[in-house]
Structure 1
């Protein structure tokens, strides 16, 4: 068989394939440097390590050596697991002084962290840290499981970590290495940031409780309950609740997560139902929310009685996801139903839902290389959501106040002329009467009545009569100041309550209105309607005269009666007020 001749082309191809093979196979044969220089620590994420996972009951002495492999970024988030996860690395101190350093755990819900360590191939020492022990038993007063070690000068410390849960839970193997000084600074910085977060949340709770007490609105109370449940969830997640509030209750710290999540979902749905008036605007959605709340309640009761322990993790996370997906959708539908403040509700839940969904994905799906960023975003999103919801509540309060003022205005307003009515006159006169000592000007009552108004209605119809009444109402408003009270009693009778220097000024005001009305006929359907009015004036409140509400009407009416009797289209004074002192 003839031999093939080697050519330059074939040699180059062989080199290329060899190079490509080395590149592709390099990760499989690569050895990882697992030594960490302690003099260069600064929150270093532990990646230079070997890794393997075993059953939880595996001991260090029986750990298979051939199972170790390089620890990679994708190994940090393991998703939901019930296995033990081992990390092995060496810390080197090249300096002339001992270095005190800290291994910091990322999450607050790790059940157990065992640490085996030895200096320069000595005997392994063993420490166990657990969330199932009282907080005071921790070596370091810190919210997550962390351990402090010391490496002498020019010495290596071999460290093996074992992290695991009692049952199924979401494993995060992000451990960071700090010098003791850097760790203390980190702790102080975290305390400041968490203080700002919880301070802002508690301020929102206080404001909502004040709104509930002052306005007597249960919606604000439901919002406060929702905020408190959010705070409870974050105290659990951050580990600050265990550190400061319930340090002797490790069972609550470990098992209360799911209870807090269910309470959060329940209060969120209750606040949404109340705030968006779902029973009226979206009754089917309201019934759905009630059904979900009932389901959450049954799950919570079953869990408290010892059931569902194997699946509560999935159920509580599903409850959070369900709430997060429903709320922005319902907010959008309510906004389309012309509930104006629902746009803030929708925006708030969109922010929160995005962070929550990303966090749930990162904690339940292995190999998502997101680190703790989604959880940090979710906590910031919680604060933003709470602020947006407070804006929504404030918008609702403003709208409620506007509607209240509108209702009061309508209750005190004549719908035809948009002047006040008898109720407004009585209310304002009572205010004047109660504050008599604070007022320097006397108060006068002008009663105005259209002359021969029945004839206008007979000749031009009631629509024509209404136009005349509106014209007179506009004329009265034009001649009155902001503090004057102008009303229509009903029919063709009007009144003005005005504070002036003297009876002469009251006379001038009445005459000005009378003459303007008489000299400016009303045009209706191409017809000219001529009209006049009569007016009676009475001094009703001053240092010398104090009349009650009924007396001011009788006094002014008596003057008006005289004007009518004298031939109409004129003004008369009440000469002897009945309440004159």
Structure 2
């Protein structure tokens, strides 16, 4: 192929007029032509030095070009041949089934072809055409490589979207729903940009392919802003930014309404403005982090990657950079962004699960002592009873009550009483084994659920707790507080087929505790029966 030249002409200029105009050689310094309301004409010669005919294919981009017309005249011909392709005709009417406008021409052996190529928009849009000339075999090899990349892109995006939707349905978490909508709108936006919606999904929908891509830009921005509002919790921590994002979303909705009303030009500028607002998301992320929103690192990285892709793409067009993967930089950035944001969502899920477990732990913990509460004891009873059932290893419950605790509060004050409670909790931690379950049962009552081989062994453990508490008085504000405790011991026979309830166990242990109190306090007493009586209806004793 000889040198390529170009010129700009009015939209109505014909070939004869343009042929008389001055053409400018195309070089690296002016490799990107930019115009509005003008048609771009290219002039070049196709040289075939082989004895066999050569079939050429010229392809133009972007896929939304309205008019691509090729005028050719072989060396020994006097008439011009005209071929055109437009995205204002159904896709199935194209001679070459390719997502971009493409036209072929055959140059006879040992001959040449003079060619003029005209590309234009019918609307007053900014036109930055890119034209590539291929031999037919090279063209189809290029298509295979190109569709391999596009298949990988859409396969990954579809997988991420599907995973996100499954999480949204399973967890009923609206952040995953909005993220799924964001991924879907991103995929759809690029499918329109790549011409794949026109080629595969809606080949008859000329409106969506020609003028509808602004709609998908706006949907992309809408979903991105909504997802960001939820992820960054802007309503709670960044009310001004939340308002700004909401206004931007209102503008996007207004743009959609205007576009469906048939107005074109303002929507183009509005869609670019709303998408440009997304470049501010890393700033919003930093502000949210300063306000206490954690798990935002990967989110920030995702939008920084997308912002760099956008800046690089725009900068390449403005400064005529020659870049690898030119035309796909921003799309590749969107794929990296999607994968990084998925990591961010996974991290957020881990944080939420951590917070949930922490909330459960706090709900099961006594705030004064740090021991578990009655709920923990109930769950432990069910679990341990089933665990030791086949081994027929007995379990024992020690129900502990501090003697005359009200008198301690009355004499030394409630803060001193709290100190005694904490000392009791520390004693239980020190004397218990890892597998034992120690809880604050309520007020001045504690409970220990443990496994022992015999009742005598359980009584020894209870006696050690009683003795240690008696001989280690609490010192509070230089005052020594002497104290004692009483313990009721109940045996849980794991092989009991009647499976006594937790309430039965507490009733029997409380009966033994009542006996310890009645016998003078400061002692451990085991229940008379070594089995829980599920029909025991004695009322628990209430005595400090």
Hey, what's the Cα distance between the residues in 2 that align with 1:434 and 1:242?
Answer: 63
Q: CA deviation at 1:541?
A: 5.3
2:511 corresponding residue in structure 1: 558
Bigger shift: residues 150-159 or 332-341: 150-159
Q: Aligned partners of 1:288, 1:423: CA distance in 2, in Å? A: 46
**Paired residues of 2:398 and 2:449 also in contact (CA < 8 A):** yes
Pair 550,139 (structure 1): closer, same or farther in 2 beyond 3 Å: same
TM-superposition CA deviations, 1:99-133 (whole Å, max 9, x none): 33322324222112111223224232221111112
Paired residue secondary structure (1:546):
coil
5+ residue gaps, structure 1: 1-34, 37-47
Deviation at 1:372, TM superposition (A): 8.1
Which of 175, 189, 214 is 1:233 aligned to?
A: 189
Corresponding residue number in structure 1 for 2:541: none
1:352 to 306, 316, 332: 306
Q: Which moved more, 1:328-337 or 1:564-573?
A: 564-573
Q: Contact 1:105/1:144 (CA < 8 Å) preserved in 2?
A: yes
Residue 412 of structure 1: aligned partner: 364
Match 2:421 to one of 469, 487, 498: 469
- Aligned equivalent of 1:11: none
CA contact (8 A) 2:309 2:333 kept: yes
Contact 1:115 1:128 in 2 (8 A): yes
CA-CA distance at 1:171 after TM superposition: 2.3
Inter-partner Cα distance in structure 2 for 1:144 and 1:443: 77
For residues 403 and 369 of structure 1, the distance between their equivalents in structure 2, rounded to whole angstroms, comes to 48
Give 1:223 shift: 1.1
Stretch moving more, 400-409 or 452-461: 452-461
Task: Say if 2:68 is the partner of 1:113.
Answer: yes
Superposition deviation, residue 455 in structure 1: 4.2
How far residue 162 of structure 1 moved from its aligned partner, in angstroms, is: 0.8
Structure 2 gap ranges (5+): 537-544
Determine the C-alpha separation between the residues in 1 that align with 2:434 and 2:33: 72
Q: Cα distance, 1:342 vs. partner?
A: 2.9
Matched, 1:196 2:149: no
User: Which of residues 348, 357, 366 is equivalent to 1:396?
Assistant: 348
Structure 1, residues 315-356: CA drift from partner, whole Å, max 9, x if none?
A: 2212211x2233222112111112112333333222212322
2:338 — aligned with what?
386
Instruction: Report the aligned-residue RMSD.
Output: 2.7
CA distance in 1: counterparts of 2:445 and 2:181, whole angstroms: 54
Query: Taking structure 1 as reference, are residues 403 and 60 closer, same or farther at Cα in structure 2, changes over 3 Å only?
Result: same
Which SS does the other structure have where 2:467 is aligned?
helix
Normalising by structure 1, we get a TM-score of 0.84
1:99-498 residue pairs with structure 2 within 5 A? 99-122=54-77, 123-307=79-263, 309-321=264-276, 323-360=277-314, 368-370=320-322, 375-430=327-382, 441-498=393-450
**Any idea what SS the aligned residue of 1:87 has?**
strand
- Assess if the C-alpha contact under 8 Å between 1:484 and 1:498 holds in 2: yes
Deviation at 1:438, TM superposition (A): 7.3
Please give the TM-score of this superposition, normalised by the length of structure 2.
0.90
* Count of aligned residue pairs for this structure pair: 532
Where 1:78 maps in the other structure, the secondary structure is coil
What residue in structure 2 maps to residue 572 of structure 1?
525
- Report whether the alignment pairs 1:547 with 2:503: no
Runs of 4+ in 1 over 6 A off after TM superposition: 433-439
The verdict on how the C-alpha distance between 1:203 and 1:75 changes in structure 2, with shifts beyond 3 A counting, is same
The 2-side partners of 1:508 and 1:112 are apart by: 96
SS in 2 for 1:401: helix
Q: What is the aligned counterpart of 1:537 among 489, 513, 518? A: 489
Distance between the aligned counterparts of 2:452 and 2:73, measured in 1?
Answer: 97
Stretch deviating more after TM superposition (376-385 or 58-67): 58-67
Deviations 1:153-192 (A, max 9, x none): 3222222211111112232332223333332232222222
Distance apart, 1:416 and its partner CA: 0.8
